[in-house]
C-alpha cells in the first residue's frame, strides 16, 4: 500500500534508536523528508542521513528544544506535515523498571513527566500552527500499553503515558476541524536499547528474577508480562503502525489509541 508521504515533512523525536529509528527509516523510505531529533546520533541513524533525512541534536527535556526541532524542519524542508512524539522512557540518569512507588521523589516524578509528557506538549504546541498554516497535518504520540493496564512497577511512567493518551484525545477534538489529526500508538514491551543496553531493563529484571539477561529477553519478561505472542515486540512493528496512522491513507482516523502489544492488554 502506498502511504502517500512523498514531499511530506516529518519530525521524529527520539529518532536515533529503537522505535524512533525504525520510524525515521520507514518514513524516509516512503518518501518523506525527515528530521530525527535526539541527544546524540547513532551509527544506524548516520547510515540513513542524506539530503532527505537529517539529525538534529536536542535534549527534549530542555523546554526550548522541541520548538527548536520544529523550527529546524521548517527551515531546511519548508514546513511540517507529520510529528511523531516518540521520545520517552527512562529520563536521563534513570533506570527502569522501578519496583515500588514509595522510593520515588518529587524530582523523579518531575523528570518522568518532563520527558514523557511535557516534551510532547511543547513539540505539539510548536507544530500545530505550522500544520494549520499548511492546511493540516498528523501527530502520532507514542504512549504505552501500561497507560491502559498499569501494574505495581513504574507508577510514574504509567501515569505520564496515561496523561499523553488523554492529551491525544483532547487535541483530536480541538484540531480535527482544522485538518490536524492526533492519534497515539501504545506499544507493549519492545526489544529496544531500553531493554538491551548494559544496565538496562533486561539486567535489572535478571537480577530480580535470578535469571540471565538472555533468558529475560527471550522468555522471562514475555511470560511475566503475559505477552500472548510469547516475545518482545520488534521496533519495526510499532513503526509500521505509526506510519499508517500518520499517512493520508488514515485521513478519517483521529483520537484513536492503537495497541500494538502482543496481547499484553486484556481489558475490553
Is 132 contained in some domain? yes
Checking if the pLDDT of 64 tops 90, the result is yes
Q: pLDDT digits over 153-172, tens only?
A: 999 999 999 999 999 999 99
Position 27 scores a pLDDT of: 98
Do residues 228 and 179 share a domain?
no
Do residues 13 and 75 share a domain?
yes
Do residues 61 and 180 share a domain?
yes
Is 265 contained in some domain? no
What range does the domain containing 153 cover?
A: 9-190+234-260
Checking if the pLDDT of 113 tops 90, the result is yes
Q: pLDDT digits over 162-211, tens only?
A: 999 999 999 999 999 999 999 999 999 999 999 999 999 999 999 999 99
Do residues 209 and 145 share a domain?
no
Checking if the pLDDT of 99 tops 90, the result is yes
Is 99 contained in some domain? yes
Do residues 204 and 100 share a domain?
no
Measured between alpha carbons, how far apart are the two ends of the chain, in Å?
A: 30
Position 244 scores a pLDDT of: 98
Q: pLDDT digits over 46-63, tens only?
A: 999 999 999 999 999 999
Is 201 contained in some domain? yes
The predicted model scores a pTM of 0.97
Do residues 169 and 204 share a domain?
no
Q: Percent of the chain scored above 90 by pLDDT?
A: 99
Do residues 72 and 51 share a domain?
yes
Which of 67, 39, 77, 71 is CA-nearest to residue 55?
Answer: 39
**In the annotation, is 157 catalytic?**
yes
Is 140 contained in some domain? yes
Binning pLDDT at 50, 70 and 90, where does residue 212 land? Answer: very high
**Quick one: cell of 167?**
492529551
CATH number, domain of 64, equals 3.40.50.720
Q: What is the mean pLDDT of residues 25-45?
A: 98
Do residues 220 and 98 share a domain?
no
For residues 131 and 12, give the distance between their C-alpha atoms in angstroms, rounded to a whole number: 15
Q: pLDDT digits over 219-259, tens only?
A: 999 999 999 999 999 999 999 999 999 999 999 999 999 99
Checking if the pLDDT of 268 tops 90, the result is no
Checking if the pLDDT of 10 tops 90, the result is yes
For residues 23 and 34, give the distance between their C-alpha atoms in angstroms, rounded to a whole number: 10
Distances from the Cα of 41 to the Cα of 11, 48, 56, 75, 97, angstroms? 15, 11, 8, 20, 25
Task: State the virtual CA torsion across 63, 66, 70, 72 in degrees, nearest 10.
Answer: 80
For residues 51 and 46, give the distance between their C-alpha atoms in angstroms, rounded to a whole number: 12
Residue from 157, 175, 194, 195 carrying the catalytic annotation = 157
Do residues 57 and 182 share a domain?
yes
Is 149 contained in some domain? yes
Checking if the pLDDT of 33 tops 90, the result is yes
Checking if the pLDDT of 69 tops 90, the result is yes
The phi, psi pair for 56, rounded to 5°, reads: -120, 115
Which distant-in-sequence residues (6+ apart) come within 8 Å of 64 by Cβ? Answer: none
Do residues 179 and 203 share a domain?
no
Domain tally, the chain:
2
Position 1 scores a pLDDT of: 84
Which of 131, 129, 118 is CA-nearest to residue 66?
Answer: 118
Position 233 scores a pLDDT of: 98
Please give the mean pLDDT across all residues of the chain: 97
Is 196 contained in some domain? yes
Do residues 152 and 221 share a domain?
no
Do residues 79 and 203 share a domain?
no
Amino acid at each position: 500500500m502506498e502511504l502517500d508521504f512523498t514531499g511530506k515533512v516529518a519530525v521524529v523525536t527520539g529518532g536515533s534508536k529503537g522505535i524512533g529509528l525504525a520510524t525515521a527509516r520507514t518514513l524516509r523510505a516512503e518518501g518523506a523528508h525527515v528530521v530525527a531529533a535526539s541527544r546524540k546520533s547513532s551509527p544506524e541513524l548516520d547510515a540513513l542521513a542524506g539530503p532527505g533525512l537529517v539529525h538534529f541534536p536536542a535534549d527534549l527535556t530542555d523546554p526550548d528544544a522541541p520548538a527548536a526541532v520544529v523550527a529546524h524542519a521548517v527551515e531546511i524542508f519548508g514546513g511540517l506535515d507529520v510529528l511523531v512524539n516518540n521520545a520517552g522512557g527512562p529520563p536521563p540518569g534513570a533506570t527502569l523498571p522501578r519496583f515500588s512507588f514509595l522510593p520515588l521523589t518529587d524530582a523523579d516524578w518531575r523528570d518522568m513527566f518532563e520527558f514523557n509528557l511535557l516534551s510532547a506538549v511543547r513539540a505539539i504546541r510548536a507544530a500545530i500552527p505550522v500544520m494549520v498554516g499548511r492546511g493540516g497535518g498528523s501527530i502520532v504520540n507514542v504512549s504505552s500499553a501500561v497507560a491502559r493496564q498499569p501494574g505495581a512497577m513504574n507508577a510514574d511512567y504509567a501515569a505520564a503515558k496515561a496523561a499523553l493518551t488523554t492529551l491525544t484525545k483532547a487535541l483530536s477534538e480541538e484540531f480535527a476541524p482544522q485538518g490536524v489529526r492526533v492519534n497515539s500508538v501504545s506499544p507493549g514491551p519492545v526489544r529496544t536499547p531500553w531493554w538491551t543496553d548494559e544496565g538496562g531493563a533486561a539486567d535489572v529484571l535478571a537480577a530480580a528474577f535470578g535469571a540471565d539477561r538472555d533468558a529475560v529477553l527471550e522468555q522471562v519478561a514475555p511470560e511475566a508480562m503475559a505477552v500472548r505472542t510469547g516475545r518482545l515486540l520488534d521496533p519495526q512493528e510499532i513503526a509500521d503502525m505509526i506510519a499508517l496512522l500518520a499517512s493520508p491513507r488514515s485521513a478519517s482516523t483521529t483520537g484513536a489509541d492503537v495497541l500494538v502489544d502482543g496481547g499484553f492488554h486484556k481489558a475490553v
